[in-house]
Structure 1
Amino acid sequence: MGAADDTRGGIEPPALRRGDWERTTASRAEVAAERIAAMVTDAEPGARLGTKEELRATCGVSVGTFNETLRLLQSRGLVTVRPGPGGGLFAAEQSPMRRLGNSVLALDTHQADGARAEEARRIRDALGPLLVEDALWHASPADVSALREGLADLAKAVQESDPAAFAAADHRLRTRLAAISPNMLLRSLYATLLPLAEPDSVEQLRDRYDHHAALIDAIENRDRTKALELARPDSRTDS
Protein backbone atom coordinates (compact mmCIF):
# COMPACT_ATOMS: atom_id res chain seq x y z
CA MET A 1 0.00 0.00 0.00
CA GLY A 2 2.22 2.79 -1.20
CA ALA A 3 1.44 6.11 0.41
CA ALA A 4 1.78 7.91 -2.91
CA ASP A 5 -0.21 5.53 -5.08
CA ASP A 6 -3.52 7.34 -5.31
CA THR A 7 -3.65 10.42 -3.14
CA ARG A 8 -3.54 14.07 -4.09
CA GLY A 9 0.01 15.21 -4.66
CA GLY A 10 1.34 11.89 -3.36
CA ILE A 11 0.64 12.90 0.27
CA GLU A 12 -2.39 11.88 2.28
CA PRO A 13 -4.06 14.59 4.37
CA PRO A 14 -3.26 14.21 8.06
CA ALA A 15 -5.39 11.82 10.08
CA LEU A 16 -7.29 13.02 13.09
CA ARG A 17 -5.57 12.87 16.45
CA ARG A 18 -5.82 9.44 18.06
CA GLY A 19 -8.09 10.72 20.78
CA ASP A 20 -10.48 12.05 18.15
CA TRP A 21 -10.79 9.02 15.90
CA GLU A 22 -10.81 6.23 18.47
CA ARG A 23 -14.33 7.15 19.53
CA THR A 24 -15.78 7.10 16.02
CA THR A 25 -13.64 4.84 13.83
CA ALA A 26 -15.26 1.49 14.64
CA SER A 27 -18.87 2.19 13.63
CA ARG A 28 -18.08 4.44 10.68
CA ALA A 29 -15.36 2.08 9.46
CA GLU A 30 -17.78 -0.84 9.60
CA VAL A 31 -20.39 1.08 7.63
CA ALA A 32 -17.79 2.04 5.02
CA ALA A 33 -16.49 -1.54 4.90
CA GLU A 34 -19.99 -2.89 4.28
CA ARG A 35 -20.50 -0.35 1.51
CA ILE A 36 -17.31 -1.41 -0.26
CA ALA A 37 -18.08 -5.08 0.44
CA ALA A 38 -21.33 -4.60 -1.49
CA MET A 39 -19.28 -3.22 -4.39
CA VAL A 40 -17.07 -6.32 -4.24
CA THR A 41 -20.14 -8.56 -4.38
CA ASP A 42 -21.25 -6.90 -7.61
CA ALA A 43 -17.76 -6.94 -9.16
CA GLU A 44 -15.81 -9.67 -10.89
CA PRO A 45 -12.77 -11.04 -8.98
CA GLY A 46 -9.82 -8.78 -9.78
CA ALA A 47 -11.98 -5.85 -10.87
CA ARG A 48 -10.74 -2.38 -9.92
CA LEU A 49 -13.03 -0.63 -7.44
CA GLY A 50 -11.27 2.74 -7.46
CA THR A 51 -8.43 4.56 -5.76
CA LYS A 52 -8.22 4.86 -2.01
CA GLU A 53 -9.07 8.56 -2.20
CA GLU A 54 -12.01 7.98 -4.54
CA LEU A 55 -13.48 5.31 -2.27
CA ARG A 56 -12.79 7.32 0.87
CA ALA A 57 -14.70 10.25 -0.65
CA THR A 58 -17.53 7.94 -1.73
CA CYS A 59 -17.86 6.65 1.83
CA GLY A 60 -17.57 10.16 3.29
CA VAL A 61 -15.11 9.25 6.04
CA SER A 62 -11.81 10.61 7.33
CA VAL A 63 -8.40 9.24 6.39
CA GLY A 64 -8.02 7.56 9.79
CA THR A 65 -11.43 5.93 9.54
CA PHE A 66 -10.77 4.76 5.99
CA ASN A 67 -7.48 3.19 7.06
CA GLU A 68 -9.49 1.16 9.59
CA THR A 69 -11.96 0.30 6.82
CA LEU A 70 -9.11 -1.00 4.68
CA ARG A 71 -7.85 -3.12 7.55
CA LEU A 72 -11.31 -4.66 8.00
CA LEU A 73 -11.70 -5.38 4.30
CA GLN A 74 -8.24 -6.91 4.01
CA SER A 75 -8.69 -9.01 7.15
CA ARG A 76 -11.81 -10.47 5.52
CA GLY A 77 -9.96 -11.12 2.28
CA LEU A 78 -12.33 -8.91 0.28
CA VAL A 79 -9.89 -6.52 -1.40
CA THR A 80 -6.30 -6.20 -2.48
CA VAL A 81 -4.43 -2.89 -2.69
CA ARG A 82 -2.00 -2.16 -5.50
CA PRO A 83 0.34 0.86 -5.63
CA GLY A 84 1.42 2.94 -8.60
CA PRO A 85 -0.37 4.21 -11.72
CA GLY A 86 -3.57 2.31 -12.26
CA GLY A 87 -3.46 1.08 -8.69
CA GLY A 88 -6.04 1.29 -5.96
CA LEU A 89 -8.46 -1.24 -4.47
CA PHE A 90 -9.38 -4.40 -6.35
CA ALA A 91 -11.93 -7.12 -5.64
CA ALA A 92 -9.99 -10.10 -4.31
CA GLU A 93 -10.23 -13.69 -5.35
CA GLN A 94 -12.01 -15.42 -2.46
CA SER A 95 -11.50 -18.93 -1.21
CA PRO A 96 -14.55 -21.03 -0.23
CA MET A 97 -13.71 -20.40 3.45
CA ARG A 98 -13.63 -16.64 2.90
CA ARG A 99 -16.97 -16.75 1.10
CA LEU A 100 -18.43 -18.73 3.98
CA GLY A 101 -17.18 -16.24 6.56
CA ASN A 102 -18.30 -13.22 4.59
CA SER A 103 -21.76 -14.71 4.10
CA VAL A 104 -21.97 -14.93 7.89
CA LEU A 105 -21.12 -11.24 8.12
CA ALA A 106 -24.18 -10.47 6.01
CA LEU A 107 -26.42 -11.70 8.81
CA ASP A 108 -28.40 -9.00 10.58
CA THR A 109 -28.09 -9.81 14.27
CA HIS A 110 -31.26 -7.82 14.97
CA GLN A 111 -33.44 -9.49 12.35
CA ALA A 112 -36.24 -11.94 13.18
CA ASP A 113 -34.04 -14.88 12.25
CA GLY A 114 -31.73 -14.21 15.20
CA ALA A 115 -31.05 -17.91 15.64
CA ARG A 116 -28.71 -17.92 12.63
CA ALA A 117 -26.70 -15.01 14.01
CA GLU A 118 -26.51 -16.73 17.38
CA GLU A 119 -25.14 -19.85 15.72
CA ALA A 120 -22.46 -17.74 14.05
CA ARG A 121 -21.50 -16.17 17.40
CA ARG A 122 -21.23 -19.64 18.92
CA ILE A 123 -18.78 -20.63 16.20
CA ARG A 124 -16.75 -17.47 16.83
CA ASP A 125 -16.65 -18.10 20.56
CA ALA A 126 -15.66 -21.74 20.04
CA LEU A 127 -12.57 -20.55 18.15
CA GLY A 128 -11.39 -18.45 21.11
CA PRO A 129 -9.73 -21.31 23.03
CA LEU A 130 -7.86 -22.36 19.89
CA LEU A 131 -6.46 -18.85 19.50
CA VAL A 132 -5.49 -18.72 23.17
CA GLU A 133 -3.78 -22.11 22.88
CA ASP A 134 -1.71 -20.77 19.99
CA ALA A 135 -0.92 -17.59 21.92
CA LEU A 136 0.37 -19.67 24.85
CA TRP A 137 2.81 -21.39 22.50
CA HIS A 138 3.76 -18.58 20.15
CA ALA A 139 3.32 -15.19 21.88
CA SER A 140 6.61 -13.26 21.95
CA PRO A 141 7.40 -10.46 24.42
CA ALA A 142 6.51 -8.02 21.63
CA ASP A 143 3.15 -9.74 21.18
CA VAL A 144 2.39 -9.48 24.89
CA SER A 145 3.43 -5.83 24.83
CA ALA A 146 1.00 -5.19 21.97
CA LEU A 147 -1.78 -6.91 23.89
CA ARG A 148 -1.06 -4.72 26.92
CA GLU A 149 -1.24 -1.61 24.74
CA GLY A 150 -4.69 -2.76 23.71
CA LEU A 151 -5.57 -3.33 27.35
CA ALA A 152 -4.61 0.28 28.13
CA ASP A 153 -7.08 1.44 25.47
CA LEU A 154 -9.79 -0.64 27.16
CA ALA A 155 -8.94 0.87 30.54
CA LYS A 156 -9.31 4.37 29.14
CA ALA A 157 -12.72 3.52 27.71
CA VAL A 158 -13.82 2.09 31.07
CA GLN A 159 -12.63 5.23 32.86
CA GLU A 160 -14.60 7.39 30.45
CA SER A 161 -17.67 5.09 30.50
CA ASP A 162 -17.55 4.97 26.70
CA PRO A 163 -19.01 1.74 25.21
CA ALA A 164 -18.23 2.82 21.63
CA ALA A 165 -14.55 3.39 22.39
CA PHE A 166 -14.48 0.13 24.34
CA ALA A 167 -15.97 -1.79 21.42
CA ALA A 168 -13.35 -0.37 19.04
CA ALA A 169 -10.51 -1.19 21.45
CA ASP A 170 -11.95 -4.65 22.10
CA HIS A 171 -11.99 -5.36 18.35
CA ARG A 172 -8.36 -4.26 18.02
CA LEU A 173 -7.31 -6.37 21.00
CA ARG A 174 -9.03 -9.50 19.69
CA THR A 175 -7.47 -8.91 16.27
CA ARG A 176 -4.02 -8.66 17.84
CA LEU A 177 -4.58 -11.88 19.75
CA ALA A 178 -5.70 -13.69 16.60
CA ALA A 179 -2.67 -12.41 14.68
CA ILE A 180 -0.36 -14.39 17.00
CA SER A 181 -1.67 -17.70 15.69
CA PRO A 182 0.37 -19.28 12.88
CA ASN A 183 -2.80 -21.00 11.65
CA MET A 184 -3.92 -18.92 8.65
CA LEU A 185 -7.27 -20.71 8.32
CA LEU A 186 -8.08 -20.13 11.98
CA ARG A 187 -7.12 -16.45 11.78
CA SER A 188 -9.15 -16.00 8.62
CA LEU A 189 -12.35 -17.54 9.92
CA TYR A 190 -12.12 -15.74 13.26
CA ALA A 191 -11.54 -12.41 11.52
CA THR A 192 -14.70 -12.82 9.45
CA LEU A 193 -16.78 -13.67 12.51
CA LEU A 194 -15.28 -11.07 14.85
CA PRO A 195 -17.55 -8.18 13.81
CA LEU A 196 -20.49 -10.15 15.24
CA ALA A 197 -19.42 -9.20 18.77
CA GLU A 198 -22.32 -7.68 20.69
CA PRO A 199 -22.12 -4.09 22.02
CA ASP A 200 -21.73 -3.64 25.76
CA SER A 201 -23.58 -1.55 28.30
CA VAL A 202 -21.62 0.79 30.55
CA GLU A 203 -22.26 -1.58 33.46
CA GLN A 204 -20.49 -4.44 31.63
CA LEU A 205 -17.28 -2.60 30.78
CA ARG A 206 -15.40 -3.15 34.04
CA ASP A 207 -16.11 -6.90 34.07
CA ARG A 208 -15.06 -7.17 30.44
CA TYR A 209 -11.84 -5.28 31.15
CA ASP A 210 -11.03 -7.48 34.15
CA HIS A 211 -11.58 -10.58 32.04
CA HIS A 212 -9.22 -9.38 29.31
CA ALA A 213 -6.59 -8.35 31.85
CA ALA A 214 -6.67 -11.76 33.54
CA LEU A 215 -6.41 -13.52 30.18
CA ILE A 216 -3.38 -11.50 29.10
CA ASP A 217 -1.72 -12.16 32.46
CA ALA A 218 -2.30 -15.88 32.00
CA ILE A 219 -0.86 -15.82 28.47
CA GLU A 220 2.22 -13.91 29.61
CA ASN A 221 2.76 -16.31 32.53
CA ARG A 222 2.13 -19.34 30.28
CA ASP A 223 -0.58 -20.43 32.69
CA ARG A 224 -2.40 -22.78 30.33
CA THR A 225 -5.07 -23.93 32.78
CA LYS A 226 -6.08 -20.40 33.70
CA ALA A 227 -5.87 -19.07 30.12
CA LEU A 228 -8.07 -21.81 28.67
CA GLU A 229 -10.54 -21.44 31.53
CA LEU A 230 -10.86 -17.73 30.72
CA ALA A 231 -11.14 -18.48 27.00
CA ARG A 232 -14.27 -20.57 27.44
CA PRO A 233 -17.39 -18.74 26.22
CA ASP A 234 -19.23 -19.41 29.49
CA SER A 235 -16.48 -17.61 31.44
CA ARG A 236 -17.30 -14.26 29.83
CA THR A 237 -20.09 -11.72 30.06
CA ASP A 238 -19.99 -10.83 26.34
CA SER A 239 -21.35 -13.96 24.67
Structure 2
Amino acid sequence: MTSVPDRIADDIEREILAQRLDSGARFALRTELIERFGVSASAMNEALRILRERGVVQVKPGAQGGVFIAQPPPQVRLGVLDLWFRGLQVDAVELFEARSALEDSLSGVAAERATPADARDLDWALEELRERRADPRLYLEATMRFHGVIARAARIPVLAGMYESVVTLLRGALVRAEFAVPDAQAALARNIEVHARLAKAIAAGDREALAAALADHRVDLVRLGQPDRSPGRDSR
Protein backbone atom coordinates (compact mmCIF):
# COMPACT_ATOMS: atom_id res chain seq x y z
CA MET A 1 0.00 0.00 0.00
CA THR A 2 1.35 3.42 -0.99
CA SER A 3 2.10 5.74 1.93
CA VAL A 4 0.77 9.29 2.25
CA PRO A 5 4.20 10.88 1.57
CA ASP A 6 4.62 8.69 -1.53
CA ARG A 7 1.22 9.77 -2.87
CA ILE A 8 2.00 13.43 -2.20
CA ALA A 9 5.37 13.10 -3.91
CA ASP A 10 3.74 11.50 -6.96
CA ASP A 11 1.08 14.24 -7.12
CA ILE A 12 3.66 17.02 -6.86
CA GLU A 13 5.91 15.41 -9.48
CA ARG A 14 3.01 15.06 -11.93
CA GLU A 15 2.10 18.71 -11.38
CA ILE A 16 5.68 19.85 -11.97
CA LEU A 17 5.96 17.80 -15.16
CA ALA A 18 2.59 19.06 -16.42
CA GLN A 19 3.56 22.71 -15.83
CA ARG A 20 6.94 22.20 -17.58
CA LEU A 21 8.61 24.56 -15.12
CA ASP A 22 12.18 25.69 -15.73
CA SER A 23 15.07 24.48 -13.62
CA GLY A 24 15.54 26.80 -10.64
CA ALA A 25 11.95 28.11 -10.69
CA ARG A 26 10.24 28.44 -7.35
CA PHE A 27 7.39 25.94 -7.10
CA ALA A 28 5.88 26.71 -3.68
CA LEU A 29 6.55 27.35 -0.03
CA ARG A 30 6.66 24.32 2.23
CA THR A 31 3.88 25.82 4.37
CA GLU A 32 1.71 26.31 1.27
CA LEU A 33 2.08 22.66 0.35
CA ILE A 34 1.22 21.53 3.89
CA GLU A 35 -1.96 23.61 3.76
CA ARG A 36 -2.89 22.56 0.24
CA PHE A 37 -2.52 18.82 0.89
CA GLY A 38 -3.90 19.00 4.43
CA VAL A 39 -1.11 16.90 5.94
CA SER A 40 1.30 17.18 8.83
CA ALA A 41 4.69 18.85 8.55
CA SER A 42 6.41 15.49 9.00
CA ALA A 43 4.43 13.92 6.12
CA MET A 44 5.30 16.83 3.83
CA ASN A 45 8.96 16.70 4.88
CA GLU A 46 9.05 13.01 3.92
CA ALA A 47 7.37 13.75 0.57
CA LEU A 48 9.93 16.45 -0.17
CA ARG A 49 12.75 14.07 0.79
CA ILE A 50 11.40 11.57 -1.76
CA LEU A 51 11.28 14.28 -4.42
CA ARG A 52 14.84 15.37 -3.62
CA GLU A 53 16.05 11.79 -4.01
CA ARG A 54 14.30 11.62 -7.40
CA GLY A 55 16.07 14.80 -8.45
CA VAL A 56 12.79 16.66 -8.93
CA VAL A 57 13.10 19.48 -6.37
CA GLN A 58 15.51 21.34 -4.16
CA VAL A 59 14.43 22.74 -0.79
CA LYS A 60 16.07 25.98 0.32
CA PRO A 61 15.71 27.51 3.81
CA GLY A 62 15.28 31.14 4.79
CA ALA A 63 13.13 34.09 3.76
CA GLN A 64 13.96 33.57 0.07
CA GLY A 65 13.67 29.82 0.36
CA GLY A 66 11.03 27.31 -0.57
CA VAL A 67 10.65 24.37 -2.91
CA PHE A 68 12.47 24.90 -6.21
CA ILE A 69 12.58 22.90 -9.43
CA ALA A 70 15.66 20.78 -9.90
CA GLN A 71 16.72 19.63 -13.33
CA PRO A 72 18.60 16.34 -13.44
CA PRO A 73 20.43 15.70 -16.72
CA PRO A 74 18.58 13.58 -19.28
CA GLN A 75 19.30 9.87 -19.00
CA VAL A 76 19.15 9.39 -22.75
CA ARG A 77 19.96 11.67 -25.68
CA LEU A 78 18.11 10.19 -28.67
CA GLY A 79 18.99 12.32 -31.67
CA VAL A 80 17.19 15.61 -30.91
CA LEU A 81 15.25 14.21 -27.94
CA ASP A 82 16.28 14.40 -24.30
CA LEU A 83 14.54 11.74 -22.21
CA TRP A 84 14.08 11.25 -18.47
CA PHE A 85 12.96 7.98 -16.85
CA ARG A 86 12.04 6.80 -13.36
CA GLY A 87 11.65 3.32 -11.90
CA LEU A 88 13.77 1.35 -14.37
CA GLN A 89 15.84 -1.50 -12.96
CA VAL A 90 18.34 -1.24 -15.83
CA ASP A 91 20.07 1.64 -17.58
CA ALA A 92 17.69 3.28 -20.06
CA VAL A 93 20.51 3.53 -22.61
CA GLU A 94 20.86 -0.27 -22.52
CA LEU A 95 17.13 -0.66 -23.21
CA PHE A 96 17.38 1.64 -26.21
CA GLU A 97 20.39 -0.30 -27.46
CA ALA A 98 18.39 -3.53 -27.15
CA ARG A 99 15.53 -1.85 -29.00
CA SER A 100 17.88 -0.73 -31.78
CA ALA A 101 19.42 -4.19 -32.14
CA LEU A 102 15.98 -5.77 -32.42
CA GLU A 103 14.88 -3.14 -34.93
CA ASP A 104 17.88 -3.88 -37.15
CA SER A 105 17.29 -7.64 -37.05
CA LEU A 106 13.54 -7.40 -37.60
CA SER A 107 13.90 -4.90 -40.45
CA GLY A 108 15.97 -7.34 -42.49
CA VAL A 109 13.41 -10.10 -42.11
CA ALA A 110 10.51 -7.70 -42.74
CA ALA A 111 12.07 -6.81 -46.10
CA GLU A 112 11.66 -10.47 -47.07
CA ARG A 113 8.18 -11.05 -45.62
CA ALA A 114 6.28 -7.76 -45.71
CA THR A 115 2.92 -7.86 -47.49
CA PRO A 116 1.12 -5.02 -49.28
CA ALA A 117 -0.95 -4.60 -46.10
CA ASP A 118 2.26 -4.17 -44.09
CA ALA A 119 3.43 -1.54 -46.58
CA ARG A 120 0.18 0.38 -46.09
CA ASP A 121 0.60 0.17 -42.31
CA LEU A 122 4.12 1.59 -42.64
CA ASP A 123 2.77 4.48 -44.73
CA TRP A 124 0.18 5.24 -42.04
CA ALA A 125 2.83 5.05 -39.31
CA LEU A 126 5.06 7.37 -41.33
CA GLU A 127 2.23 9.87 -41.67
CA GLU A 128 1.78 9.78 -37.90
CA LEU A 129 5.47 10.65 -37.49
CA ARG A 130 4.93 13.75 -39.61
CA GLU A 131 1.85 14.74 -37.62
CA ARG A 132 3.53 14.31 -34.22
CA ARG A 133 6.73 16.26 -34.88
CA ALA A 134 5.68 19.26 -32.75
CA ASP A 135 5.64 17.27 -29.48
CA PRO A 136 8.74 15.33 -28.36
CA ARG A 137 6.87 12.71 -26.37
CA LEU A 138 4.29 12.08 -29.07
CA TYR A 139 7.05 11.89 -31.67
CA LEU A 140 8.88 9.24 -29.63
CA GLU A 141 5.63 7.27 -29.31
CA ALA A 142 5.04 7.50 -33.06
CA THR A 143 8.59 6.32 -33.73
CA MET A 144 8.10 3.27 -31.54
CA ARG A 145 4.80 2.49 -33.27
CA PHE A 146 6.50 2.75 -36.68
CA HIS A 147 9.12 0.20 -35.66
CA GLY A 148 6.39 -1.91 -34.07
CA VAL A 149 4.81 -2.22 -37.52
CA ILE A 150 8.16 -3.46 -38.86
CA ALA A 151 8.42 -5.95 -35.99
CA ARG A 152 5.02 -7.40 -36.82
CA ALA A 153 5.81 -7.49 -40.55
CA ALA A 154 8.81 -9.75 -39.83
CA ARG A 155 6.41 -12.41 -38.54
CA ILE A 156 8.71 -13.74 -35.84
CA PRO A 157 6.39 -13.60 -32.81
CA VAL A 158 9.13 -14.25 -30.24
CA LEU A 159 11.30 -11.35 -31.43
CA ALA A 160 8.28 -9.10 -31.92
CA GLY A 161 7.24 -9.92 -28.34
CA MET A 162 10.72 -9.04 -27.08
CA TYR A 163 10.55 -5.72 -28.92
CA GLU A 164 7.14 -4.90 -27.42
CA SER A 165 8.41 -5.81 -23.94
CA VAL A 166 11.30 -3.34 -24.26
CA VAL A 167 8.99 -0.62 -25.59
CA THR A 168 6.49 -1.24 -22.79
CA LEU A 169 9.23 -0.78 -20.18
CA LEU A 170 10.33 2.49 -21.78
CA ARG A 171 6.78 3.82 -22.07
CA GLY A 172 5.96 3.00 -18.47
CA ALA A 173 9.08 4.65 -17.05
CA LEU A 174 9.25 7.78 -19.23
CA VAL A 175 8.48 10.87 -17.15
CA ARG A 176 9.71 13.65 -19.42
CA ALA A 177 10.69 14.26 -23.03
CA GLU A 178 12.10 17.51 -24.40
CA PHE A 179 13.72 18.66 -27.60
CA ALA A 180 17.47 18.88 -27.07
CA VAL A 181 17.85 22.02 -29.19
CA PRO A 182 15.65 25.12 -29.60
CA ASP A 183 14.93 24.41 -33.28
CA ALA A 184 14.68 20.66 -33.76
CA GLN A 185 12.53 20.68 -36.88
CA ALA A 186 15.36 20.38 -39.41
CA ALA A 187 16.74 17.34 -37.61
CA LEU A 188 13.25 15.85 -37.30
CA ALA A 189 12.67 16.32 -41.04
CA ARG A 190 15.88 14.39 -41.68
CA ASN A 191 14.80 11.68 -39.24
CA ILE A 192 11.41 11.35 -40.94
CA GLU A 193 13.16 11.08 -44.32
CA VAL A 194 15.29 8.21 -42.96
CA HIS A 195 12.16 6.43 -41.75
CA ALA A 196 10.54 6.98 -45.16
CA ARG A 197 13.54 5.28 -46.76
CA LEU A 198 13.20 2.38 -44.33
CA ALA A 199 9.53 1.97 -45.22
CA LYS A 200 10.22 2.14 -48.96
CA ALA A 201 13.08 -0.37 -48.79
CA ILE A 202 11.06 -2.85 -46.73
CA ALA A 203 8.03 -2.56 -49.01
CA ALA A 204 10.23 -3.12 -52.07
CA GLY A 205 12.30 -5.89 -50.51
CA ASP A 206 15.43 -3.88 -51.38
CA ARG A 207 18.15 -5.17 -49.04
CA GLU A 208 20.81 -2.74 -50.33
CA ALA A 209 18.61 0.31 -49.79
CA LEU A 210 17.57 -1.05 -46.40
CA ALA A 211 21.18 -1.45 -45.27
CA ALA A 212 21.93 2.16 -46.24
CA ALA A 213 18.82 3.46 -44.48
CA LEU A 214 19.59 1.48 -41.32
CA ALA A 215 23.14 2.86 -41.27
CA ASP A 216 21.79 6.42 -41.48
CA HIS A 217 19.19 5.58 -38.83
CA ARG A 218 21.92 4.52 -36.39
CA VAL A 219 23.94 7.67 -37.07
CA ASP A 220 20.83 9.81 -36.60
CA LEU A 221 20.38 8.48 -33.06
CA VAL A 222 23.66 10.05 -31.90
CA ARG A 223 23.99 13.00 -34.27
CA LEU A 224 23.74 15.60 -31.52
CA GLY A 225 25.87 16.02 -28.40
CA GLN A 226 26.19 13.79 -25.34
CA PRO A 227 27.11 10.66 -27.34
CA ASP A 228 27.96 8.79 -24.13
CA ARG A 229 24.24 8.78 -23.27
CA SER A 230 23.10 7.84 -26.78
CA PRO A 231 22.23 4.32 -27.90
CA GLY A 232 24.41 3.00 -30.70
CA ARG A 233 27.13 5.53 -29.88
CA ASP A 234 29.94 3.15 -30.88
CA SER A 235 28.65 2.89 -34.43
CA ARG A 236 29.54 6.43 -35.41
Q: TM-score, normalised by structure 2?
A: 0.47
Q: Which has the larger radius of gyration?
A: 2
Bigger strand share = 2
Q: TM-score, normalised by structure 1?
A: 0.47
